[in-house]
């Protein structure tokens, strides 16, 4: 549907405002919502960020295998017991799409 591209556009805006870059899982690149060079994982690229924020990422080994050794990991997921949240420093159990929209709103308002 249209929600994927819209979410990725919003993610890009939030990332730009924070000085971050956008990565994706294979689900996202296979859907065509992000280019393959943005896929993090064993069949994608390897990153090694200071902070990794996972919006609705389950944390499959093929994905986390591309994460390097991030200093901080935040996982936003409706499933508190998913592997991504299990390895995170901070787990936020909420709707990732709604949180992203709220982040975008606050960053645009300049009151972040
Ligand atoms: C040989 C092989 C190589 C692979 N290589 C890679 C690779 O390089 N990179 C890669 O990423 N994957 C790779 N995969 C795929 C990998 O195994 C996983 O299928 C993939 O990483 C899962 O992506 P995902 O977390 O986006 O999706 P899913 O596994 O579908 O997880 C979605 C997550 O979002 C959560 N969620 C759903 N709705 C919401 C919501 N509204 N708010 C918050 N959370 C929500 C769910 O609880 C779940 O945790 C490979 C697989 C194989 C077999």
| pLDDT by position in tens, the chain (length 112) | 568 999 999 999 999 999 999 999 999 999 999 999 999 999 999 999 999 999 999 999 999 999 999 999 999 999 999 999 999 999 999 999 999 999 999 998 665 4
* pLDDT computed for residue 81 by the predictor: 98
Determine if ligand 1 sits within 6 Å of the CB of residue 29.
no
* pLDDT computed for residue 108 by the predictor: 86
* pLDDT computed for residue 112 by the predictor: 47
* pLDDT computed for residue 109 by the predictor: 65
Domains of the chain, first to last = 3-109 (3.40.50.1220)
Under DSSP, the state recorded for 36 is G
Residue 63 C-alpha to ligand 1 middle, in angstroms?
7
Determine if ligand 1 sits within 6 Å of the CB of residue 91.
no
Element counts in the chain: helices (H) and strands (E): 5, 3
Determine if ligand 1 sits within 6 Å of the CB of residue 95.
yes
Determine if ligand 1 sits within 6 Å of the CB of residue 60.
yes
Residue 89 C-alpha to ligand 1 middle, in angstroms?
19
Determine if ligand 1 sits within 6 Å of the CB of residue 88.
no
The CA distances from residue 10 to 16, 22, 68, 97, in Å, are 10, 11, 25, 9
């Amino acid at each position: 549907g249209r929600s994927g591209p819209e979410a990725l556009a919003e993610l890009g805006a939030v990332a730009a405002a924070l000085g971050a870059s956008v990565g994706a899982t294979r689900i996202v690149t296979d859907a065509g919502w992000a280019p393959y060079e943005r896929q993090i994982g064993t069949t994608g690229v390897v990153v090694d960020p200071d902070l990794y924020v996972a919006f609705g990422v389950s944390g499959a080994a093929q994905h986390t295998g591309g994460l390097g050794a991030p200093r901080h990991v935040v996982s936003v997921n409706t499933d508190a017991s998913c592997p991504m949240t299990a390895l995170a420093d901070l787990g936020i159990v909420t709707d990732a799409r709604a949180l992203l929209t709220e982040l975008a709103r606050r960053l645009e308002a300049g009151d972040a």
